[in-house]
């Protein structure tokens, strides 16, 4: 029950992060550089065009909804503009406004990812979450948290990792990982009564995975990792985990 509760909490936090990204931010004023921009009555191409803003006009972006942006003209007209057309405007600094269009190109321009995985750690079901930051096109810094609850013990693992993507421009792309962290093992047996029943061990890991761009801001991941735990008994304990999950990126 504790495992499921922790996982639900982490999943809710991840889901909330997705919505916070699309929440209303400070209003942004941009200038139209194309001949015109269409204003529609609703956030879809099926809605009719009721106004056309012309080149040189400034418009204010109010909010976003799945590839469409509500905007207001200087004369007070409010309507919905497609991401494609809005991406052809410029900011006050003179830079072209980058607008996500829900394509694979957006993945190359991401900054952060939030991941959720389910898998198997040494024949025990494991659940994990992670957050990562794009350092370069090839290198990703990541922090992960995992929990595996077996019949005899509960394992909690956290690690800081570095991912290397050799072919980041591929939709189906392999990657390698290396990292370090800590594993905490708590026996569940009632036979364990000593005060030092919780064991903490430093760990190192290497792994490999496959990342597939699925749709919009979602990718699917399959990953394997080999973990070496350095125990207090001056020996090494090896663990293997394979997991499947998804990530949302921003």
Return averaged pLDDT per consecutive 10 residues of the chain, 250 residues in all: 49 47 61 94 94 94 88 94 90 84 77 94 93 94 92 88 94 96 81 63 95 91 95 80 93
* Nearest alpha carbon to residue 147 among 184, 188, 189, 190: 184
Is 35 in contact with 88 (CB distance < 8 Å)? no
Q: Could you tell me the sign of the dihedral formed by the alpha carbons of 8, 10, 16, 22, in that order?
A: negative
How many helices and strands, by DSSP H and E, does the chain display?
A: 3, 15
In this predicted structure, what is the pLDDT of residue 166? 92
Question: From CA 119, how far away is CA 117, in angstroms rounded?
Answer: 7
Q: Torsions phi, psi of 106, nearest 5?
A: -65, -30
In this predicted structure, what is the pLDDT of residue 11? 52
Question: From CA 1, how far away is CA 41, in angstroms rounded?
Answer: 48
CATH class of 23-99: mainly beta
Question: CATH 2.30.30.40 region(s) of the chain?
Answer: 23-99
- Scored b (16 or more CB within 10 A) or e, 120-152 reads ebeebebbbbbbbebeeeeebebebbbbbbeee
Neighbours of 202 (CB within 10 A): 12
Question: From CA 49, how far away is CA 146, in angstroms rounded?
Answer: 50
Q: Which residues on adjacent β-strands are paired with residue 159?
A: 144, 181
Question: From CA 194, how far away is CA 222, in angstroms rounded?
Answer: 39
* pTM, full prediction: 0.68
Q: Torsions phi, psi of 162, nearest 5?
A: -125, 125
Is 57 in contact with 73 (CB distance < 8 Å)? yes
In this predicted structure, what is the pLDDT of residue 250? 82
Question: From CA 132, how far away is CA 187, in angstroms rounded?
Answer: 31
Q: Which residues on adjacent β-strands are paired with residue 232?
A: none
Topology of domain 108-249, per CATH? Porin (2.40.160)
In this predicted structure, what is the pLDDT of residue 149? 84
Question: CATH 2.40.160.20 region(s) of the chain?
Answer: 108-249
* Nearest alpha carbon to residue 169 among 108, 94, 230: 108
């Amino acid at each position: 029950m504790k495992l499921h509760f922790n996982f639900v909490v982490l999943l809710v936090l991840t889901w909330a992060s997705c919505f916070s990204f699309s929440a209303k931010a400070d209003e942004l004023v941009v200038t139209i550089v194309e001949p015109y921009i269409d204003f529609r009555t609703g956030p879809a191409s099926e809605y009719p065009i009721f106004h056309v803003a012309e080149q040189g006009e400034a418009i204010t972006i109010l909010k976003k909804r799945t590839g469409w942006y509500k905007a207001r003209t200087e004369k007070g007209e409010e309507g919905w503009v497609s991401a494609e057309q809005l991406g052809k405007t410029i900011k006050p600094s003179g830079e072209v406004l980058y607008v996500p269009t829900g394509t694979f190109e957006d993945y190359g321009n991401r900054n952060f990812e939030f991941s959720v995985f389910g898998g198997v750690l040494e024949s025990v079901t494991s659940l994990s979450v992670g957050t990562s930051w794009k350092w370069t096109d090839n290198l990703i810094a990541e922090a992960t948290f995992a929990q595996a609850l077996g019949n005899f013990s509960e394992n909690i693992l956290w690690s800081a990792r570095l991912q290397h993507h050799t072919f980041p421009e591929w939709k189906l792309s392999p990657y390698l990982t290396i990292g370090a962290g800590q594993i905490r093992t708590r026996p569940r047996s009632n036979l364990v009564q000593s005060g030092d029943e919780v064991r903490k061990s430093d760990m190192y890991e290497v792994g490999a995975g496959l990342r597939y761009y699925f749709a919009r801001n979602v990718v699917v991941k399959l990953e394997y990792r080999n973990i070496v735990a350095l125990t207090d008994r001056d020996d090494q304990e090896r663990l293997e985990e394979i997991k499947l999950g998804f990530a949302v990126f921003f």
